[in-house]
Structure 1
Amino acid sequence: MGVPDMDSWAAGLFGILDAMGGLPEAVSHVLATQPGPFAYVYLAGSNMMYHPDKLLLWLKLLTAKGVKSLVFVNLASKSEYNKLPMPADLFKCIALTKLYIGTWCFPNTADLPRTAAFPYLKELGLCNVVMMEKDLTFLLDRCPVLEKLMIARCPWPLCLRIQSHSLQSVQVCIGLVREITVPNASRLERLFLWEAWGWDDHDIKHMSTKIKIDHAPKLRYLGFLVPGMHQLEIGNTLIKVNTKASPNTTVPSVQMLGVQVKLGTYIEARMLPSFLRCFPNIETLYVQSEDDNLNLKLWGPQTSGTSKVINLKFWKEASPIECIQRHIKKLVLREFRGRKSELEFLKFIAEHAQVLKEMVIVMTYGYSPSDNLGTKLRIFMAFVKWANGCCKMMVAKSPFEQQCTAWCYLRGFDFSIEDPFDLSKCCEDKCGAH
């Protein structure tokens, strides 16, 4: 049993840690005897299918005592958790404003009452939850004031339709994604994808994800797009190589963009200029540089290299790109390995970005700015004719002490943070997010 903050009992702050680890009776006693309301409950433990009666009792008590924030995680094995549907009684916790569900099988929506809803829910996280597209639609339709949505490690090919007048931040992390469409999201400000792998029903070698944006007038943050795998569609126009910018093919509201690309792989690099033309007002550009020789990702066979050289001439022929020439003030290139393709891309940006104020190159894990790789970079950039002579270049070491997934969902949900892509403060759980 764990209590996050012993000084907060009066406010009803209460946590349950490892509830199933031999403590079901104690959990039942505490929930029954504490007066509530509960501001926060963390309910997690080994497979809850072995304690169905206790589980229903806990949900009944949480409902009666108006739990506001609930983390509800079933720590079952992969072969077990789809045998126990998430209890439908969870929908009776109508006072919830924040809900995170982990490792459950979503119940049959046909068995749920028509009145099932979370009328006050503002933040929802679904991690490793088995559900069909109709289940996700059912759930989102019953969250009328939802502002923050995260879907992580989805074990099914996700199709997400963002049609909401309340959603402001959506994150899809680590999973198979067939399609994400934004037909009408008047308040959506942030759309984040991280390791959102493509899907193809018939050919594992040509997996792709459709990203379609129709109406999102307040969308300011978007990333990480993967040229060559993500099939970007603006309005009714599929963005292809050399697609010209027009009012029908641009999202002018986007100011910060992240892309994940193999700069030395032709099929990906050739799509990058077309993607950039769709967002003419970008002020901050993040480029996650992937290893050209690494074909372990699901879309690897599709993006194998070609004999065509990706060099400075290639990038110059792709010009003009309005956001680079007139608007980009900050460029961050992460996972720098010293490849020629990376150096040529940096040179192109430096020579064409007229208002660029800051260029940040973050070394890949295991290298530092003071070693030979950092020296090579500084020497190369010293001979570049910068479009803005006042631009500052900074070479930084990876903020992480080991290779890891470089994303922080907490920063993505914290609207007070102006740069949710910046992970330099995310070491040792000091990301600065609230």
Structure 2
Amino acid sequence: MELPALTTPTLCFPSLKQLSLLDLIISESALHGVLSRCPVLETLSLDGISGTRRVWISSLTLRSVGVSDCGYCREARLEELVIVDAPLLERLIQCVRVIRIIQAPRLRTLAYDDHIPISQLGTMHFEKTVLVGPSDAMRSVKILGLLTAPDLDYVTGFLKCFPCVEKLYIVLDTWMIFKNDVKCSAPLECLDRHLKKVQIINYDEKRLDVNFIKFFVLNARVLESMKFVVRRDKCGTKWIARQRKSYR
């Protein structure tokens, strides 16, 4: 659906707290105009937006933002998300090519996609998930979701940047490679003091090296639970017994 530019100046939502835009064609100026006229907005979802390549967010009220570029239109798709100033933002779920967070001191939940080539979170600057240059750790994040995990180096790299994570969700990559020692080579504050819950999604014992799981079992000193999300037809009595034997 396309939102005509002439209609956007008339759109004003003084009491709107939740806004979801799906598969919409809208210009950058029109989109920012709509957002500026939502003074109490708390939840924003942009999915499959085209007609604009960048969205700047500066809001005193936003608490949750979700952005995805998965749309039907291939031209002028949303590629960059910039959080300029969002003092109350607590949750960010994003899947766009470039993400920059300048000011979000209360951010607690972050979902990150390995396919994003450029990311700047506060003073941290990533290029293809590799940290570039010195940075200050982002200690406000307590829940971290990694939408793909190609290897353990990728995961531990993020735990260094977010040392206070308590809940970690990992969607395993089909072609994940384990190339690390089971024992942690250097101390990680997250593993030593904070990480309590780990959930592994797309777990498949046939393609995942057991050492990836053992790494957390052996090194997360305050770990309370680890949950595997698998296909229903695989999770039988024999399968469960086999997993218990593997991680002893």
Q: 1: distance between equivalents of 2:187 and 2:115?
A: 21
Question: How many Å separate the matches in 2 of 1:380 and 1:219?
Answer: 36
- Within 5 Å, which residues of 2 pair with 1:232-251? 232-239=119-126, 243=131, 248-251=135-138
- SS of 2:30 mapped into structure 1: helix
Q: 1:361 aligns with which of 204, 228, 238?
A: 228
Q: Which residue of 1 aligns with 2:246?
A: 380
**What secondary structure does 1:349 align onto?**
helix
Which of 346, 371, 374 is 2:213 aligned to?
A: 346
**Equivalent pairs, count:** 241
CA gap of 1:112–1:237, structure 2 versus 1, over 3 A, is closer
Q: Which residue of 1 aligns with 2:19?
A: 124
Q: 1:352 to 1:368 in 2, by over 3 A?
A: same
8 Å CA contact 1:211, 1:230 repeated in 2: no
* Counterpart residue number, 2:74: none
Aligned residue number for residue 285 of structure 1: 168
Aligned with 2:184 (options 306, 311, 316): 316
Contact 2:182 2:214 in 1 (8 A): no
Tell me which amino acid in the other structure corresponds to 1:143: C
Query: Following the alignment from structure 1 to structure 2, what is the Cα–Cα distance between the partners of residues 221 and 112?
Result: 32
Equivalent of residue 271 in structure 1, options 148, 154, 163: 154
Q: Deviations over 1:173-228 (max 9, x none)?
A: 461651122121001111123xx2x5xxxxxxxxxx122222111111111x1235
For residues 158 and 52 of structure 2, the distance between their equivalents in structure 1, rounded to whole angstroms, comes to: 24
Residue identity in the other structure for 1:148:
T
Residue in structure 2 matched with residue 107 of structure 1 by the alignment: 4
Alignment of 1:143-162 (within 5 A): 143-155=38-50, 158-162=53-57
Partners of 1:190 and 1:222 within 8 A in 2: yes
The equivalent residue for 1:133 is: 28
What TM-score results when the alignment is normalised by the length of structure 1?
A: 0.50
How many Å separate the matches in 2 of 1:112 and 1:153? Answer: 19
Q: Which residue of 1 aligns with 2:203?
A: 336
The answer to whether the 8 A contact 1:131-1:156 is kept is yes
Number of the residue aligned with 1:191:
92
Q: Tell me which stretches of 4 or more aligned residues in structure 1 moved more than 3 Å.
A: 155-158, 240-246, 314-317, 339-342
Contact 1:254-1:282 within 8 A present in 2 as well: yes
Match of 2:81 in 1: 180
The alignment's C-alpha RMSD in Å is 2.8
Q: 1:211 is aligned with what amino acid? A: I
Higher alpha-carbon Rg? 1
Alpha-carbon distance in 2 for matches of 1:130, 1:116:
16
Q: 2:183, 2:218 within 8 Å by CA — same for their partners in 1?
A: no
Q: Against the structure 1 CA distance between its residues 370 and 134, is the aligned structure 2 distance closer, same or farther, given a 3 Å change threshold?
A: farther
Give 2:66's match in structure 1, choosing from 165, 171, 176. 171
The percent identity for this pair of structures is: 28
- Normalising by structure 2, what TM-score? 0.84
Contact 1:244 1:277 in 2 (8 A): no
* Bigger share in helix: 1
Letter in 1 for 2:199: V
Sort the Cα spacing of 1:279 and 1:262 in 2 relative to 1 into closer, same or farther, 3 A. Answer: closer
Q: Secondary structure at the match of 1:313?
A: coil
The structural deviation recorded for 1:273 is 2.3
What's the offset of the Cα at 1:260?
1.6
Alignment partner, residue 41 of structure 1:
none
Counterpart amino acid of 1:212? R
Alpha carbons of structure 1 residues 290 and 250: separation in structure 2 relative to 1, 3 Å: same
- Larger relative CO (CA 8 A, sep 6+): 1 or 2? 2
